[in-house]
Structure 1
Amino acid sequence: MQPQEFAPPAELRATIKCFWHTSLTLGEQTAGWEVMPDGYAEIIFCFGGVCSVATPGGWQPLSSPFLVGLLGQPALFRAPHQLEILGIRCFPWMVFELLGLPAGQDGVRSLAHPLAQLQAPLTQWLQAGNLPEAVAMLAQYLGQARPRGASGSLLDKAGEAMRAAQGTLPVSQVAAAAHATVRTLERRFKQSAGYTVKDVSGLMRFEQARNHLWQHPAASLAALAHELGYADQAHLSREFKRYSGLTPAAFARKARRG
């Protein structure tokens, strides 16, 4: 089932890209699925089963909600039978401030956070088939939790420039758009996101390449590299394999098979 997306209210648009919902039917056996890196952080509520993430030490159960931060490689999840997911897609330079947590690079983690108090009422709304009310409850909670004075900040301006350019702007131009020095921008960004502007821009650009190849697997890689601001096709291939574990050509073949 394709996720259903909901736009956030105006006061949250600098922090949240969208709310989304999907239902997965995973069969009688516990089944897994892969999540590819992209330029967002996700707050995930699960209903109907326990979701686990693959780690070097084995499968780690995740309490709901959990956080999927910026990923450097695909992450593998699994859950039993039927699973319903309500997600909050956040900009990575705002998500930790929104949650009142220190920034980190730990990828996937359970959240010991007051947000967990919404699990029970959200479950009731979803069981009643009232998805809009569940989304409205999340939006109201996060609107009240959002740090005041965030709108119009340096990070908002930097993030807007990065999103408009789909991750292709050099750091100096992002800083200029934010009316800040490169040093100030990098310091504030690392404090807020846990990553540098270049790190996040690289993921945003990879996401564009991944989406384009999934939709157009016969696309010219040289033309795609030029369009997305890579130095050349070899640069695109190195970055693509870094984040996906596959070359662009191998990913395109996978896309052709659906």
Structure 2
Amino acid sequence: MNLEFDILKPQRALAGYVQAIWSASVKPDTTQTVRKQLLSDAGTGVVFILQNEVQMDGEWHAPGVVLLPVSILAHQVCLPPGAVMTGVRFHPAVGYQLFGKRLEQLLRIQDVHPLASSALATFESLQTARSPSARISTLYRWVQALIEKYEPQYVGHIIDQPAGTLSQRQRERNFQKWLGITPKHYQRIKRVKHTLELLRAQPDLTLSELALEQGFSDQAHMTRECKQIARMTPKQFVRKRNL
């Protein structure tokens, strides 16, 4: 396979803040650009582009450190031959606390950014790392120090559990501040992602039964939601998986 992809899902202390730390590279001698459709998850992330330009949502980005906005829709990443990138994926609302604000679009870290000192030093270290495991270890140490420094509040219980000490209005205000969407919209994103992940693992599932099991009113409703949020229907998703 032309794409080498490695992923670490942190345990213990980091698990409440970080979904994954990953490394991706495309062999230099391949002739084709690797294209990947990434499902939306309402999370944010930091990407370190180490070698060659990489295309994200139709725009090419040179090597450097890029902060990702809240993922509301699926997006495409294109890695040309020789591309190397690595990154951290945060749980919903964590990025807001680390970045200092909710991002509306991709943001390249420059010298004046609060994270510039540590992020750009880590970028230099990553460029000398010669293996996926070395890159992931370097990023693990960076994000661990980042969490210790900024001490973001753990808000998973507010995001994923409607019943709690907050009123519905307070919860909606938090969602708007952190994610820019309503709790209902978040649940839609979460349901579509879970539905397509089930299809990825079990592509022979009957779509009509899957729709009812996942709480859609019918298969047509599931198809509309997937097309709107994941930018493809369940059938298209299965076909793409088999390419």
Answer yes or no: same fold by TM over 0.5. yes
Structure 2 partner of 1:230: 216
Structure 2 partner of 1:147: 151
Structure 2 partner of 1:111: 109
Post-superposition shift, 1:72? 4.4
Post-superposition shift, 1:73? 4.1
The C-alpha deviation readout for 1:15-40, integer Å capped at 9, x for no partner, is 21121222222656572513333213
Post-superposition shift, 1:49? 1.6
Determine what percentage of the aligned residue pairs are the same residue. 19
Given the alignment, which residue of 28, 44, 49 partners 2:47? 44
Report the secondary structure of 1:130's partner residue.
Answer: helix
Report the secondary structure of 1:82's partner residue.
Answer: coil
Contact 1:15 1:90 in 2 (8 A): yes
The C-alpha deviation readout for 1:133-177, integer Å capped at 9, x for no partner, is 4134323332333335x14xxx23123xx3xxxxxxxxxxx331x
Report the secondary structure of 2:188's partner residue.
Answer: helix
CA 1:63–1:179: 2 relative to 1, 3 Å? farther
AA of the residue aligned to 2:108: S
Q: Runs of 5+ in structure 2 lacking a partner?
A: none
AA of the residue aligned to 2:90: C
CA 1:28–1:203: 2 relative to 1, 3 Å? same
C-alpha distance in structure 1 between counterparts of 2:63 and 2:184, whole Å: 31
CA 1:61–1:121: 2 relative to 1, 3 Å? same
Contact 1:53 1:77 in 2 (8 A): yes
C-alpha distance in structure 1 between counterparts of 2:201 and 2:136, whole Å: 30
Q: CA RMSD in A?
A: 2.7
Structure 2 partner of 1:81: 81
Which stretches of structure 1, 4 residues or longer, exceed 4 Å deviation after superposition?
26-30
Aligned: 1:17 with 2:19: yes
C-alpha distance in structure 1 between counterparts of 2:28 and 2:231, whole Å: 25
With structure 2 as the length reference, what TM-score do the two structures score? 0.81
CA 1:194–1:8: 2 relative to 1, 3 Å? same
Post-superposition shift, 1:9? 5.7
Aligned: 1:123 with 2:127: yes
Contact 1:63 1:111 in 2 (8 A): no
With structure 1 as the length reference, what TM-score do the two structures score? 0.77
AA of the residue aligned to 1:43: V
Name whichever of 10-19 and 237-246 sits farther off.
10-19
Q: Runs of 5+ in structure 1 lacking a partner?
A: 163-173
CA 1:32–1:3: 2 relative to 1, 3 Å? closer
Contact 2:53 2:60 in 1 (8 A): no
C-alpha distance in structure 2 between counterparts of 1:203 and 1:128, whole Å: 30
